[in-house]
Amino acid sequence: MGAPLSIWAVSDDKAGNAGPALGLAEAVARLTPAEIGVRTVAWRGRIGRLPWFLNPFPLSALAGDAGIHPPWPDLWIAAGRATLPLSLRVKGWSGGRTRVVQVQNPRAPAGGFDLIVAPRHDGISGPNILSITGSPHRVTPERLAEAAGRFAARIDPLPRPRAALLVGGRSKSHDLSDARARALGADLRRAVLESGGSLMTTFSRRTPESARLILEDTLSGLPGFTWDGTGENPYFAMLAGADVVLVTEDSANMATEAASSGRPVLLLPMDGGSAKFTRLHEDLIARGAARRFEGRLETFPGAPFDETARAAEAIVQRLGLAVR
């Protein structure tokens, strides 16, 4: 046996990038002996807003000690626009030894990467592009079971059907206005009361404060709980304990993670939209993993799938890595 593979999971501090990069690194490590290091990219001043090609000396432009220096890893898995100035140069810095995998559509020349793992709804293709449904993630049966055990005292007594509510917020394509929050809150409250079930709620950092307060007020008094951002995050336990997962339609990551857990997913309407997200939702619906929310806590078998494992297998095969 040789030394374990050195993998870096590289992203900025956004959960929507950090999760996919680390989740894919962990999936590769389940297939081949590996040690994973996490690297978080931050840029000085306004450099991070520039296109990757206008940042020609990225190592000197990094803010703080991100740990991005030799010895370079065997496998570099990165997600997010902020990583591009580094992802497109690390192979040269390593003398060609580092293999580079970029998650999501980089909007940069594909030839600069060994492999691009892109959501199918991004609509890109090529010889070194692997299209998957949604994004890589960290949801596994083992992680869900472990989290369920830690939060059993809080979740198991809740009346069924238990619904996990995952609320996103403002993005380039979507928003959660106060009016939308009021309507959504009223519909969700009615659905929970009619079902006799309970609601476990978590908000994202993108949720507008006014919309969050409206939803918290409208949903108050229902059986269940809302995570207030303090203490251990119950996210995986919520997925494990849910009979159905309600996901706002602005997040590809949350929808993919919920569907990959095997729980049925109900997609909640937001303000705005885009063709890309419509393609993702149609893909999930066609798989039998999701449906549109129609005012009821509708449960159905769900259709678990594991695109993260498929992407990891492609990395191992295409890059000629040793399998356990």
Task: Report which DSSP code applies to 209.
Answer: H
- pLDDT above 60 (res 269): yes
Same domain as 156, residue 288: yes
Helix (H) or strand (E) holding 174: strand 174-175
Q: Specify the pLDDT at position 123.
A: 85
Asked, for residue 297, whether it belongs to a domain, the answer is no
The residue among 316, 6, 258, 45 whose CA lies nearest residue 138 is 258
Asked, for residue 301, whether it belongs to a domain, the answer is no
Find the domain containing 266 and state its range. 141-292
Same domain as 204, residue 80: no
pLDDT grade for 276, boundaries at 50, 70 and 90: confident
- pLDDT above 60 (res 1): no
Query: For residues 252 and 11, which has the higher predicted lDDT (pLDDT)?
Result: 11
Work out how many domains the chain is built from and give that number: 2
Same domain as 256, residue 189: yes
Judge whether 143 and 236 are in contact, CB under 8 Å.
Answer: yes
Asked, for residue 51, whether it belongs to a domain, the answer is yes
pLDDT grade for 252, boundaries at 50, 70 and 90: confident
Q: Specify the pLDDT at position 322.
A: 64
Same domain as 219, residue 123: no
Burial of 63-102, coded b for 16+ CB within 10 Å and e otherwise, reads eeeeebeeebbbbbbbbbbbbbbbbbbbbeebeeebbbbb
Between CA 196 and CA 223 the distance in angstroms is 9
The pLDDT tens digits for 5-57 are: 999 999 998 888 999 999 999 999 999 999 999 999 999 998 888 888 899 99
pLDDT grade for 305, boundaries at 50, 70 and 90: confident
What Å distances lie between residue 114 and 58, 127, 166, 307, CA to CA?
20, 10, 34, 19
Structure tokens at 82: 């902020």
Q: Specify the pLDDT at position 324.
A: 56
Question: What one-character-per-residue DSSP string does 9-53 give?
Answer: EEE-S-HHHHHHHHHHHHHHHTTS-EEEEEEE--BSTTGGGS-GG
Query: For residues 301 and 293, which has the higher predicted lDDT (pLDDT)?
Result: 293
Same domain as 288, residue 176: yes
Domain CATH code at residue 282 = 3.40.50.2000
Between CA 215 and CA 189 the distance in angstroms is 10
43: how many CB neighbours lie within 10 A of its CB?
18
Same domain as 28, residue 148: no
Same domain as 149, residue 99: no
Residues in the chain: 324
Asked, for residue 299, whether it belongs to a domain, the answer is no
Q: Specify the pLDDT at position 2.
A: 65
Q: Specify the pLDDT at position 274.
A: 87
Asked, for residue 123, whether it belongs to a domain, the answer is yes
Q: Is 154 helix (H, G, I), strand (E, B) or coil?
A: helix
The pLDDT tens digits for 148-204 are: 999 999 999 999 999 999 999 998 899 999 999 999 999 999 999 999 999 999 999
Same domain as 9, residue 118: yes
Same domain as 184, residue 87: no
The pLDDT tens digits for 106-150 are: 989 999 999 999 998 888 999 999 999 988 999 999 999 999 999
Same domain as 145, residue 119: no
The residue among 145, 164, 133, 147 whose CA lies nearest residue 306 is 133
Same domain as 15, residue 51: yes
Asked, for residue 108, whether it belongs to a domain, the answer is yes
Burial of 145-184, coded b for 16+ CB within 10 Å and e otherwise, reads eebbeebeeebeebeebbbbbbbbbbbeebbbbeebbeeb
Asked, for residue 214, whether it belongs to a domain, the answer is yes
Amino acid at 113: F
What are the residue ranges of helices labelled H in the chain?
Answer: 15-29, 58-61, 84-87, 90-93, 141-150, 152-155, 178-195, 209-219, 235-241, 252-260, 275-287, 307-318
Cβ neighbours for 48, distance < 8 A, ≥ 6 positions apart: 42, 82
Same domain as 156, residue 57: no
- pLDDT above 70 (res 84): yes
Distance of CA 316 to the CA centre of its chain: 22
Answer positive or negative: Cα dihedral of 320, 7, 235, 205.
Answer: negative
Between CA 103 and CA 24 the distance in angstroms is 9
Asked, for residue 323, whether it belongs to a domain, the answer is no
Q: Specify the pLDDT at position 49.
A: 86
Q: Specify the pLDDT at position 64.
A: 84
pLDDT grade for 323, boundaries at 50, 70 and 90: low
